[in-house]
Structure 1
Amino acid sequence: MKLAVVADIHGNVLALEAVLADLKCEAPDTVVNLGDCASGPLWPEETAAVLRETNWPTVRGNHDRVIAAGNIPPENRTDSFTIAHLSTESLTWIQGLPPVIQLSDDILLCHGTPDSDVSYLTENVIGDSLHRADLDTIRSRLLGNDTPLICSGHTHIQRLITLTASRQTIINPGSVGLPGYSDDTPVLHKAEAGSPHARYALIEQTSDGWQIEMRALTYDWEAAAAEAERNGRPDWATPLRSGFFGQLL
């Protein structure tokens, strides 16, 4: 079985189209989406419309949850923009996304950790940035879940970790559409992929175990950055162009 894993598209339909073109060449058996689909000052409706057509198994990200609930305060500029630009059909689709998907006995899909869409599975916040957590901390965040392959997003940083004792593999495919961001949960910090590429992962199950390839694709990230600027979000334009967030406020 060949599985493609995408996550954190964040309304960047140009990056999504680059991934779709690559998937045509790779021809996976299944594509799964780890959430945070449309949120952002780019092309939320266009992105959601494409995803609705794919019918990929898709989990709900933390931004998807906020959008689905509605009543977004105006100070949340990102999700306010998103919900204002979504069709009824796309909003209904987002509202129907599950928080976790047990794809098979061997594969679990979640956005953050199995029980939280805002918690990091493999990272700790140290200072103002993300750093890989130790293995005991990662195991504790799985809450005893022993699924052999766990696919998790949320950090926007590609990550592959093997838990030898439990014979588990954890994979974060990185972000399709936003290679850097800031967040204030649990404290103010930033995440940076280090380049503007659109990222996803390919996983193939063989007799020797999981064969995993991390992909990083070029696309017109200048056009994405310009769209963010047109919509009043230069803070998005910087990571879209560079993969680095820049200075925290």
Structure 2
Amino acid sequence: MKIALFSDIHANLPALEACFKSMDAHKPDAVYCLGDLVGYNIWPNEVISEIRKRGIPTIAGNYDQGIGLMSDECGCAYKTDNEKDMGKISISYTNSLVTPDERQYLRTLPSHLRLEFQLNSDKLNLLLVHGSPRKINEYLFEDRDEKSLMRIMEQANADIMCFGHTHKPYHRILPSDINPDTHFRHAVNIGSVGKPKDGNPQGGYVLLHIDENASVLNKDSVKVEFIRFDYDVEKAAKAVEESPLPNAFADMLRNGG
């Protein structure tokens, strides 16, 4: 089975359209969205509409939750006063754009999705979250202590855990040591469609490959393919610059930061 997973579109319609074009070429068996449809750009309603038109199962991101509740907080961990000020402008502007029907959709999105595969003598549990199983806006960066990440996955009964929120893609196989009796777990950050933060302005998503022999005892039986795609970055950046949003958001799109 080939599963497409994408996240963190952040109202970037040109990026989403290019993402769907790329996905259609890869012909996945299933598609899931891990949240943060809105914020930081001018097309929140259009992004929501495109995902709903395709009937894509979607979970709530922290920004979706904030807008769904018409809150002035997005649950974002801004580090500086300048970032906080820009964040306030973004959520206020997004709240002014989102229509009642789209807001209701965001408000009723589930917090996680769980899929259970019974392929061999052991079950294979796939958990889809936005930040982490513990908190919608918890950041799971690649340098997370292995024991901490393992504990999070064990407590959530996740053999494969896919998430977004940091906008920085990676795949870690836990534990890192190998012996014949090891129960392997896969932690996968699927990156960002519309607001990458890894220095690459291309949008990104993941193709998760689960074959008929997939097992928690075989670390190579689950494969993660990171797809990057080009889109009209200038169109998205200029839309920011022609809106009340801070121009710094446009610069972030251009440099993947």
Same-fold call, TM cutoff 0.5? yes
The structure in which a higher percent of residues are strand is 1
| Alignment match of 1:145 (pick from 142, 146, 156) | 156
Deviation digits for residues 199-225 of structure 1 (CA, Å, limit 9, x no counterpart): 000011112511221011111101111
Q: TM-score, normalised by structure 1?
A: 0.85
Q: CA RMSD in A?
A: 1.8
Pair 1:50 & 2:39 matched: no
Residue 13 of structure 1 corresponds to 13
Report the Cα offset of residue 40 of structure 1.
Answer: 2.1
AA aligned to 1:136 is K
CA contact (8 A) 1:113 1:142 kept: no
Deviation at 1:100, TM superposition (A): 1.3
In structure 1, what is the Cα distance between the partners aligned to 2:47 and 2:97? Answer: 11
One-letter code of the match for 1:205?
A: I
Query: Is the 8 Å Cα contact of residues 52 and 90 (structure 1) preserved in structure 2?
Result: no
Q: Mark the runs of 5 or more structure 2 residues left unpaired by the alignment.
A: 74-83, 118-124, 176-181, 215-220
Give the 5 Å matches for 1:1-249: 1-72=1-72, 76-104=88-116, 106-121=125-140, 123=141, 132-142=143-153, 144-164=155-175, 165-179=182-196, 192-206=197-211, 207=213, 209-231=221-243, 232-244=245-257
Number of residue-to-residue matches in the alignment: 224
- Secondary structure in 1 matching 2:251: helix
Instruction: Render the CA deviation track for 1:54-104: whole Å, top value 9, x for unaligned.
Output: 221111111111111114279622122112112222111111101111133
8 Å Cα contact 2:153-2:161 kept in structure 1 = no
SS in 2 for 1:107: strand
The DSSP-based 3-state class of the residue aligned with 1:174 is coil
Q: Which amino acid letter does the alignment assign opposite residue 169 of structure 1?
A: H
SS at match of 2:109: coil
State the match for 1:189 in structure 2: none
The match for 2:178 is none
Which residue in 2 is equivalent to 1:182?
none
Asked whether the equivalents of residues 34 and 58 of structure 2 are also in contact (C-alpha less than 8 Å), the reply is yes
- 1:31 positional shift: 0.6
TM-score, normalised by the number of residues in structure 2: 0.82
CA deviations 1:97-154 (Å, max 9, x no partner) are 0111113352111011102011112x2xxxxxxx611211212333622321111110
- Give the 3-state SS of the residue equivalent to 2:138 in structure 1: coil
Match of 1:77, SS state, is: helix
Q: Percent identity?
A: 30
